[in-house]
């Protein structure tokens, strides 16, 4: 695995951000990593950055204050397609609500939903299968 | 409460004057000499009860009330009619255009009772409607509450599990591994309990959602999620499904998850030949699922009580059962109008047979 990718983590819980950060580091594929507690700030970041600084992968939480994961996706869909198309989004959530799962499945921007705690082996396999890493 | 508004339509002006004199103290009375005038009044006022004579020039009472029901379905409609029109009236009642009728000749007492009845009907409908709306609101709030509480309860647990997973990747923490494993098992127990409570809640409150069910992939994925890491159990799945089965895939999943996880939990610890067999036979009428193991078995005296909420056998205490699983199984099978049959012998094994009706015709 020589491919280096940029990863963005969005989660209102700092400990989960830390865990996901460590996991991504272990995957040994890292270009850069950016972390956000608030989806709004992540969005602002994406709006100001050019293609080389854009993430290839976003791990996105659903239940967050101010702007939740789905609201983030709605805003994300408005960003230029040229930037969006190189970026894969994986939802990571501890929600058991069928409605959340169905919404994630319906959303074309979402590649997959992983339940917390994140299983690093499964995520790595999944990303390899989808040629993201 | 504000006065009930009553509109009376009759082409005889004397009747209208007398009506007003009789009822104006009890009701807010509106009168009209023709259907056309009446519709004008209905446009400007929220009327609860509409009373109409059947015989009017140009339009019958039934025809008029037919227009009223389309425009103002919440009104209670009372028809005054003679013997000759009785069949028309019956039809109008059956079609819902007329709520009540009184027959000629009528007097003020008779009419007064009839209007009283209309008022009762109206108020009970209003109450029912507002109760329904209230219930719907409570339902929605409860759903929101349950899911946000369950999420907020689970979220710290998943963080703890995440940290434990992370610790397994660090060689310098090797000595602490047994402690992490103990923490993990207690956290998993709590997480399992929260999941089961949500399953219970979903089963109790949601209606059946019928979709085509392919048993082979469904049961394989249930097994993949549950199977022990050490591959110490020989799992055999035999599905004989030559026809479409329609059923509630969510509830079937919950039932099979609970039964298979029990079959894994209640193996004989020292046994080296552990197996779980799942057989499924599907035909146009039903699906028969048999989950059998060669585990510790269940005492016959417990055959009834194991399906009770929070009931745990001695074995369940050792394996940290929650006492919810089989209760959910029973509730879910009942909800699908299915059947559950238990056979078990101590130290030989247990077989649960589930029979579920095939709902593809419905």
The top-level CATH class assigned to B210-357 is alpha beta
Task: Determine the residue of chain A that is closest to B144 in CA distance.
Answer: A97
> In A, which residues are within 8 Å of B198 by CB distance?
96
B159 interfacial to chain A (CB closer than 8 Å): yes
**CATH numeric code, B5-106:** 3.40.50.2300
C-beta atoms of B163 and A95 within 8 A: no
Give B327's pLDDT tier (boundaries 50, 70, 90).
very high
Chain B 179-218, residues with CB within 8 Å of chain A CB atoms: 195, 198, 202
> In A, which residues are within 8 Å of B165 by CB distance?
19, 117-120
pLDDT in tens, B77-134: 999 987 778 888 888 888 888 988 888 877 888 899 999 999 999 999 999 999 999 9
> In B, which residues are within 8 Å of A97 by CB distance?
147, 151
Domain range annotation of chain B: 5-106, 137-205, 210-357
**pLDDT value of position A50:** 86
Tell me which residue in A22, A23, A116 faces B158 most closely, judged by beta carbons.
Answer: A116
**pLDDT value of position A2:** 52
C-beta atoms of A116 and B162 within 8 A: yes
Q: Which helix (H) or strand (E) holds B272?
A: none
| B286 and B336 Cβ atoms separated by less than 8 Å | no
> In A, which residues are within 8 Å of B166 by CB distance?
19, 22-23
C-beta atoms of B159 and A16 within 8 A: yes
Whether B5-106 and B210-357 share one fold: the answer is no
Q: Which domains does chain A have, with CATH numbers?
A: 49-133 (3.40.50.2300)
Give the global pTM.
0.68
**pLDDT value of position B1:** 64
Three-state helix/strand/coil letters over B162-197: HHHHHHHCCHHHHHHHHHHHHHHHHHHHHHHHHHHH
| pLDDT higher at B323 or A70 | A70
**pLDDT value of position A131:** 86
Mutate: best of A95, A96, A120, partner B, most B CBs <10 A: A96
């Amino acid at each position: 695995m020589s491919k280096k990718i940029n990863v963005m983590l969005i989660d209102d819980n700092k400990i989960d951000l830390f865990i996901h950060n460590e996991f991504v580091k272990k995957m040994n594929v890292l270009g850069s990593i950016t972390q956000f507690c608030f989806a709004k700030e992540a969005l602002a970041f994406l709006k100001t950055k050019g293609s080389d600084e854009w993430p290839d992968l976003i791990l996105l939480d659903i239940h967050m204050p101010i702007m939740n994961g789905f609201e983030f996706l709605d805003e994300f869909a408005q960003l230029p397609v040229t930037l969006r198309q190189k970026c894969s989004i994986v939802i990571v959530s501890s929600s058991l609500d069928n409605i959340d799962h169905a919404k994630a499945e319906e959303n074309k921007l979402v590649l997959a939903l992983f339940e917390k705690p994140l299983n690093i082996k499964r995520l790595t396999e999944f990303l390899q299968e989808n040629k993201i890493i | 409460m504000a006065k009930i508004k009553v509109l009376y339509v009759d082409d005889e002006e004397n009747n209208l004057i007398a009506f007003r004199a009789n009822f104006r103290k009890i009701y807010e009375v509106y009168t009209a000499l023709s259907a056309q005038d009446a519709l004008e009044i209905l446009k400007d006022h929220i009327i609860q009860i509409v009373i109409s004579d059947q015989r009017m020039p140009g339009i019958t009472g039934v025809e008029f009330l037919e227009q009223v029901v389309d425009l103002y379905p919440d009104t209670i409609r009372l028809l005054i009619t003679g013997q000759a029109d009785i069949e028309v009236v019956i039809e109008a009642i059956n079609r819902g255009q007329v709520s009540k009728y009184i027959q000629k000749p009528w007097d003020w007492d008779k009419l007064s009772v009839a209007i009283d009845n209309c008022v009762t009907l109206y108020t009970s409908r209003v109450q029912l409607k507002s109760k329904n709306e209230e219930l719907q609101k409570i339902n929605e709030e409860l759903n929101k509450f349950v899911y946000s509480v369950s999420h907020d309860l689970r979220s710290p647990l998943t963080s703890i599990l995440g940290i434990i997973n992370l610790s397994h990747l660090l060689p310098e923490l090797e000595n602490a591994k047994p402690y992490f494993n103990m923490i993990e098992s207690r956290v998993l127990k709590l997480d399992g309990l929260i999941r089961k409570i949500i399953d219970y809640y979903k089963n109790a409150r949601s209606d059946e959602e019928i979709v085509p069910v392919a048993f082979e992939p469904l049961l394989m994925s249930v097994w993949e999620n549950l199977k022990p890491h050490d591959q110490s159990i020989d799992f055999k799945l035999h599905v004989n499904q030559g026809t479409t089965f329609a059923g509630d895939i969510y509830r079937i999943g919950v039932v099979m998850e609970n039964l298979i996880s029990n079959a894994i939990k209640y193996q004989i610890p020292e046994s080296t030949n552990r197996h779980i067999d799942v057989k499924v036979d599907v035909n146009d009428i039903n699906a028969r699922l048999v989950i059998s193991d060669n585990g510790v078995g269940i005492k016959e005296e417990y055959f009834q009580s194991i399906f009770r909420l929070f009931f745990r056998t001695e074995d369940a205490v050792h394996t940290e059962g929650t006492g919810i699983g089989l209760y959910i199984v029973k509730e879910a099978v009942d909800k699908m109008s299915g059947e559950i049959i238990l056979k078990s012998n101590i130290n030989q094994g247990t077989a649960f047979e589930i029979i579920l009706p095939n709902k593809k015709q419905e």
